[in-house]
Structures are given as C-alpha cells and as structure tokens.
Structure 1
Amino acid sequence: MNIRKWGMHMKKPFYKKIWFWLVVLVIIGGAGAAASKKKDKDESEQTVVTEATTEKISNTTEGTTAKATTEATVIKDGKYAISINSYSVEENYDGSEVLIIDYSWTNNSDKETSFMLALTDRVYQNGIQCSTISVYVDDVSAGDQMLKIKPGVTNDIKIGYKLQDKTNVSVEVNDLYDSDDLYLKETIDLGGGEGTYNEASASSAETSVKIVDMFLSENYSGEDVLIVKYEYTNGEKKVTAFSQEFRDAVYQNGVECSSWTISEDADGEPSILYIKPGATIIVEEAYILNDTTSDVEIEVKTLFGGKSILSEKRSIN
C-alpha cells in the first residue's frame, strides 16, 4: 500500500473556508429543490445568437486566441439575464490553467439576491464539470458571488474554473431552483478540439462504480487516512454527481471510518462535481482509519433506496 502525505504544507485547507461550505450547501439545497419543482415553460422563449468574440489567452501560449461561439437560450421576461463580457486563461497558484469568465448578470426579480442564491453556473470539459475549488487568481473572489444586488441592477462578476485540457468548454447557467430555466449556454473554443465526450452515444451508457486505486495517507493533523479513487459513469438521462447519487462508506471491524474532506493536493476530482449523461469521472474520497492494520470493507449504495452498487473487502497492508 502506497503512503502519501498531503495537506501538511497548506496555508489553509479549503474545507476550513466558510465560502466552500456555503457553496456546497447551496448546491445541495438547489439540487433538491430543482428535483421537486415542476414548472410550465413560457411558450414565448426566444433563441438569441450573439456575435462570436475573440479573447487573447493570458499566461499560456503568447499570440494565441480563443474563440467563443454563442448559442444562448434566453428566457423572455425571465427573473435574470446573464451574458459573458470576456474570458481569459490564466495560471493558477499551482501552475495549472484556469478559465476566468467575466459575467454580466441582471436581477429582474422583485427582490434583492446574489449570484450564488439565484443561479447555478457550470463549465464542462469532456462532459465533466470544471472545479471552482482551489482557484486563487488575482481579481477573482468567491465572496463576490455572495454580494446581493437589488431588482433592476446589473453587476459584473468573475469566476474561475480549473481546466482539464485545451478542449472546448461548455458554459451553462441555470436558475438555482429550477434547472429547466436555462439563462445561458455557450461554447468556448480553446483550440484543442471537441474533447472526448460524445453526447450521441450517452444514451447507451449504464451507471457503474468501481475502485481504481486506494492508498494510505496522512491529513494535516497527522491522522492516518485511506484515499479511495472511484471511477463513476453516469448512466442516468440527466446531469448528476457522485455525491447526488450515492453514499459511500468504509468500515473496519464493523465500525464505520469517519469521512474526511479531500485536500486540495488530491489529484482526483471532488465527488460534488456534476457530469453529463454517459460521461465518466475519477473521484477521490477519504476516510480516517480506526487503525492501520485491519482490513477495510468499502461500500457504495444508492443515496435513495440504499441499493448496493459496490461492496469489497480489501487489505491495507
């Protein structure tokens, strides 16, 4: 079993930052509300195609441009309106590349609200949501998403997304409480082609979860932690996340091991990231071990109904 230490050199783990937990709570609450709410659509929706824009990429390949093809579906007389002012590719604190999108959004509702409490923004590459966790770039602050604006006011906001590669990205912004209300859908061409996701073949995919790796590590306080990497394929007909579909657990001698928030040093993806139908993602989960000698039982069950998806007993030595 490999031993890897992570989190020891972090200035401040992201899971101790209050905005991270606010984001998680809003995502979970919004997803639950969207699942139960049925709403008749306004027949007078209109499709607006805006002019393609060209933006120079910063801190990447000098002189290279990235083109955005806009196919935004705008809901007529919607509660909100949103568009992209500009975008750029910047270098993150760890050397990875981050897509920075400068949005302009208008609050057309009858009460003051914030971007975070009104809208759900997701950027996808290869059918996988790009993470906004651990993005530290100048002029980008997660706190800006919590600032409220009054009815009729338009405000600009910058959000950073960690890129997987240079393939095209799909930008989608929906109503937080009704995912059927789509306010923006735009494709940004970063010059790397269409990527690996094939929407046409998504209907043939079946839901599957399997363990692809596991190893011992230590968290920032020196506790022994088991890291498990799961490969998850979304066989549903909707966009969803591992954390929205399953409950995972690890037991030693019949006693459950406490779950642990993955460090920003982890090389897998957080289980809260959404993936499109038919897409596959590698997610990492961490568990504080009760001891470092006993075998572990790893279980994954459906979040609703408790159907067993995976059950394996493994040695950690």
Structure 2
Amino acid sequence: MTTEPKNARPPQQPTKMSVCGIIGLVLGVLSIVLSFIPIVNNAAAVLGVVGAVLGIIAIVGTFRGKKSGKAIAIVGTVLSVLAVIITLSLQASFSKAIDDATGSSSASTSASSGSNTADAKQSKQDKEGDLDNMHVSIVSAVKSDNDFEGKPTVLVTYEWKNNTDKNSSFMALANAQAFQNGQELDTATYGIGTEPAGYDANSLVADVQPGASGKTTIGYVLKDDSPVTVDVTDLFSLNDDKMVEHKFDL
C-alpha cells in the first residue's frame, strides 16, 4: 500500500491567456494605424488610452502568475502609448498651421489697407508668380497611382518661397485647387505604403523659415482624362484676382 508524501503539492493548473492583454494589443494596432489620419486620429487617442490601461492591467496580472501573455500585453501597451503620442504631435502641427494662417491673414490685411486699389488688382499669372505671402511655381501635374479607393489621381508639384516674417507651411499660406471641366477635384488619400513615387504627405504641413523655399506635392482624384487646371491663391487675401494658374494636359 502506497502513501502520498505529506508535503506533496497538487499539480499546477496551466494559466490562461490574459484577455486584457489581447484586447490591449488589438486596440494598440488599431490606434497606431488611425493616428496618422487627420480628424479620425481623435478616436485613435481614445483607443490608445484604453489599450494602454488594459495592457498595464494585463502586465500586472502576468507578474502575479494569474495569467500568461506578458509579451502580448507589453506590445499592446507600447503601441497604444505611441498612438497617443503620434496623435498629439500631429494635432499640435495642425494647430500651429492654423495659428500661422491667422497671423499671416492679419499681416496681409494691414499691407492691403495701405495700398491703392488700382495697384492691388492684378491679372492671373501663368504657372509662376507672386502672391501676398509667397512666391509660387506650379511645376507639374502628372497622372499618378490610384488612391486607397482605387480611383485614378493626378500628382501636382509646387515649389514656393516663404515671403512672410515667420515660419510657415504651404497649408498655412496657400489655397491650392485643381479643376476638370470647371469642377473642383477632391484631394486624394493614398494607402499607407502605397504612396506614389515623389509624393510626400508631410510636405503640406512642414514649416519653412522666412525667405526659404519649399517643395510640396498634393494628389487630386481625377474625374476623367480631360486637362487639369491648377490654381493657387493666398489662403487669406482681400485680392481675389491675385492668382497663379496653369492648365496641364494629362
């Protein structure tokens, strides 16, 4: 007859995977993807905070030995925190661009009030010319890759010089539009990793110092194969006739 040792321990039950860790990882991945999309990244910040909290709960649980999946919990927490940081950084950039635009508008208004009406009224400038706050050249408009919805696009390249007295971006100074058959084209959004060659999404909001030059690329969704007319005006101006314009055959 056999007897069990007095100090024998019952067999340990295998720990279960942490549900909080799995949910935190899913929210972390989702929030990091959404954090790069303007406006939508507001939701990314919320998802990132929730994912980080769940990830921390999961990590604490794994240290206590109640749950497994420490690596998943850590990855989810890191991704969630990064999503919040990226969202806050991008929103700060957009806020700065709006502030710069407001300041440029005030400067433009003051300059316009001291000039004669006859001198202020100018004809349209073909392809390259001076606006109130910048010198701009419409370099090219080339048919490009499809956007994230599979629609054809045209990639327009602008070269410009900041003529203000403060750091400013193309977005803060210029109102750039493209037309086909008199109808305005929508701005194109490309999928992550599928951007066309030569396209730089950051060039629209990147600041340029006073007197320095920059290069900006913007994609527009095509309606058909007809010529594309591109025009650029000041974002804020009392002179609507001050424009740089050019028509491109695709």
Q: TM-score, normalised by structure 1?
A: 0.40
Say which structure is richer in helix: 2
Q: TM-score, normalised by structure 2?
A: 0.49
Give the structure with higher Rg (CA). 2
